[in-house]
Amino acid sequence: MSRFVYADNAATTPVSQAVIDAMAPCFASAWGNPSSLHSKGREAKKLMDDARERIAKVFGCESGEIYFTSCGSESDNWAIKGAALRGKKKGRTHIVTTVIEHPAVLNTCRALEREGFEVSYIGVDADGVVDLAALEAAITEKTAVVAVMYANNEIGTIQPIEKICEMAHAKGALMFTDAVQAFGNVEIDLSKLPVDMLAMSGHKIHAPKGIGMLFVRKGTVLSNLIDGGGQEKRHRAGTENLPYIVGLAKAVEIAHEGLKDMPRVTAMRDRLIEALTAIPYSRLNGHRTKRLPGNVNVGFECIEGESMLLLLDMKGICASTGSACSSASLEPSHVLLAIGVPHEKAHGSIRLSISRETTDEDVDYIIETLTPIVARLREMSPLWEEIVKNSNK
Amino acid sequence: MQYSDKVMDHFANPRNVGEIEDAQGVGVVGNAKCGDIMKMYLQIDDNDVISDCKFKTFGCGAAIATSSMATELIKGRTVKEALALTNSAVVEALDGLPPVKIHCSVLAEEAVKAAIADYYKKIGREVDFPLESADERYEH
């Protein structure tokens, strides 16, 4: 293997050395329980408070509005279930979301449906942008929460969250956004963006897996998801994961600082998109410009994603696919189907998610490696054979 | 999900890829909607022996590997022997497949049978074995 190129940053990211260094003292010496009154506890509490304040500063919110969780999925569950159960007391038993949400949101909504809540799943256009007219029409005085992701994990499309906030608030509903893919890629300033809740996850921004965060705006009351001790102002029980909280704060600061590199990442993304869509019978999935700086999702006709992935892996390139064959369900990606990609074409999609760590040489290598892989798989595809025969007629 | 070394070998270096012009038997199974299509070409000599066999496959790693292995298992065999090829024989020859990929081996077996059925029809022989329609089986 001559080269290694990690182009699956939307799946997870490596933990950065600065984050590891920031966490190390929490294992070696500052191992106290932040709830303890003694010196060891106070030492831990101080580190935790400091981490919370630094994160709040980056997000433009108050430290009291930041709650630590175990992951993005927990934050999604808490925000939606917490808002729904609270809303129910005021007769709000309806939830509005979109068809392209992450499973952590979709399956949370389905679970609430089984508990008697009504859920409206709003569709998207061919670029993956939510249908705003349908969304506005769906929100009523019965709506407890509107849950729309900031940016899609598969196709990278960025949603008009501010407009959606207005629509939710006009009907007195809470607005929640899952910003797991967005934070660190786009500027998020909670002093300007009027969402009530926002979820993010550490492992997408070079912190470890197992740490997440939920922003809950002051005055917003959610039912608890995890009851127990008095941690997180009695709203989320469980002894705080101090090392990872400290690591998260470091990662959040680095990610925010790294936003200045996004024009460079965007340029690399665009170069990939241009080169890959120049291959005949290919298409870009997702919006051409309203998309995450590091997201490339291209479909190639007549070939299948898992085969592409395996051949790329043999050349040291890590990517991901929306193909059914990569999942246990044998169903292609719900996001690709939602933007109108037919089943047979959804199978041939590949997602490359690059980051600040990606170089121009990496981009060259991806292009020069993937292009012949597509040709090679088409050579052995009976569907391609038909296209070639028909074009020779 | 992990593929065996054998599967990876047949995926990375598939045997007998291609077409046979004027093949005596051609079979196509699967459908694009489900993400697998196998096309099998058979060259059959006067003694009913499969003298050559080629395939083209649209599908995942397992679909390509099972197609490749199936051609290896029937090449040089009589048509009758090829008809006895089962999907589990293909799986066994590949040192196993992940459970969700077993359907690929079924498709490989069916591709061989479909190609032989085509050959039988061409020479006016009765198709005396069951033909599964992969399209029906995997429609969802």
**What are the residue boundaries of the structural domains of chain A, listed by start?**
5-12+260-392, 17-257
CATH of the domain at B43: 3.90.1010.10
Residues 69-98 of chain B whose Cβ lies under 8 A from any Cβ of chain A: none
**pTM, 2 dp:** 0.94
Q: What is the pLDDT of residue B130?
A: 87
Correct CATH for A17-257 of 3.40.640.10, 3.40.50.300, 3.10.150.10, 3.40.50.2300: 3.40.640.10
Please count the structural domains in chain B: 1
Q: Establish, for the pair of chains A and B, how many residue pairs have beta carbons separated by less than 8 Å.
A: 80
Exposed, middle or buried, A258 (CB in 10 Å: 0-12/13-18/19+)?
A: middle
Interface residue ranges in chain A relative to chain B, Cβ cutoff 8 Å: 302-307, 310-311, 314, 323-326, 328, 330-332, 342-344, 347, 379-385
3-state secondary structure at position A264: helix
Name the DSSP class of A14: P
What is chain B's length?
A: 140
Closest A-chain CA to B138: A330
Residue-wise pLDDT tens digits, A302-338: 999 999 999 999 999 999 987 666 566 667 899 999 9
Q: What is the pLDDT of residue B137?
A: 46
Average pLDDT of the segment spanning A127-147? 98
Distance of alpha carbon A264 from alpha carbon A261, whole angstroms: 5
Helices H / strands E in chain A, number of each: 14, 12
| CATH topology (fold) of A5-12+260-392 | Aspartate Aminotransferase, domain 1 (3.90.1150)
3-state secondary structure at position A140: coil
Q: Kind of pairing, strands A295-300 and A94-98?
A: unpaired
Q: Which residue has the tokens 């997000």?
A: A59
In a domain, B36, yes or no: yes
In a domain, B32, yes or no: yes
B59·A330 Cβ contact <8 A: no
Calculate what percentage of chain B has a pLDDT beyond 90: 85
Given a cut of 90, is residue B34 above it in pLDDT?
A: no
Q: What is the pLDDT of residue A114?
A: 98
- Find the radius of gyration of the CA atoms of chain A: 22
Distance of alpha carbon A308 from alpha carbon A302, whole angstroms: 12
Residue-wise pLDDT tens digits, A352-383: 999 999 999 999 999 999 999 999 999 999 99
Residue A187 amino acid letter: E
In a domain, B128, yes or no: no
Mean pLDDT of chain A: 96
B56·A330 Cβ contact <8 A: no
> Which of chain B's residues have a Cβ under 8 Å away from the Cβ of A328?
100
- Write out the residue range of the structural domain in which residue B12 sits: 5-123
Average pLDDT of the segment spanning A278-290? 97
Residue-wise pLDDT tens digits, B60-80: 999 999 999 999 999 999 999
Average pLDDT of the segment spanning B40-45? 97
Average pLDDT of the segment spanning A198-214? 98
